[in-house]
Amino acid sequence: MALLRSARHGQRALTWSNWLFAYLILWTLPFPVGIVLSTLAMVWRWPFEALGTAIPAETVVSVIFGIGVFLIMMPFVSWIGLLLSFPIVWLVLRLGLAGWLSFILGGIAMGWAAAAILGGMAPEIPMALGVMTALVMRWMLGQRSPEIFIP
């Protein structure tokens, strides 16, 4: 398994259904994950609020809830980044440069660009989400056509 290389012209092995499946999952996956995180933060907070006591790790609960809300809202804007990433991923597969490290670097770049567009947001969150999204995409495409990632 190569970090930077893959099969040349790997995009030929992928059908439109493979592309649509991967992008549809990537577009909708943040929503249920965000609901789970937000619910977890609220469920952790309720017993303390009912008792009227201080919540241990209040900041952690708030951060988890904030990330959950961010993930719930992500499909409303992430379609733009996913649409823009399609020609880049296609080209990387065509050139045989679709290794794990290539996808990680691409996720960092897309996350950094999203942070710049959103403005005022710490770039670490979109960059981490960009890396996770890129790795999930590579994994899903590899599940559908494993031969495209063998150099």
> Which residue in the block uniquely carries the two structure tokens 């050139």?
95
Q: Which domain holds residue 82?
A: 27-149
In this structure, are residues 5 and 144 in contact, taking their beta carbons and an 8 Å threshold? no
The answer as to whether 100 is a domain residue is yes
Mean pLDDT of 13-20: 85
Structural domains counted in the chain: 1
Going from the C-alpha of 123 to that of each of 2, 53, 111, 114, the distances in angstroms are 28, 34, 7, 8
Give domain status of residue 46, yes or no: yes
pLDDT in tens, 58-105: 788 888 898 899 889 888 877 777 888 888 888 888 888 888 898 899
pLDDT band for 146, please (50, 70, 90 cuts). confident
Q: Is residue 22 part of a domain?
A: no
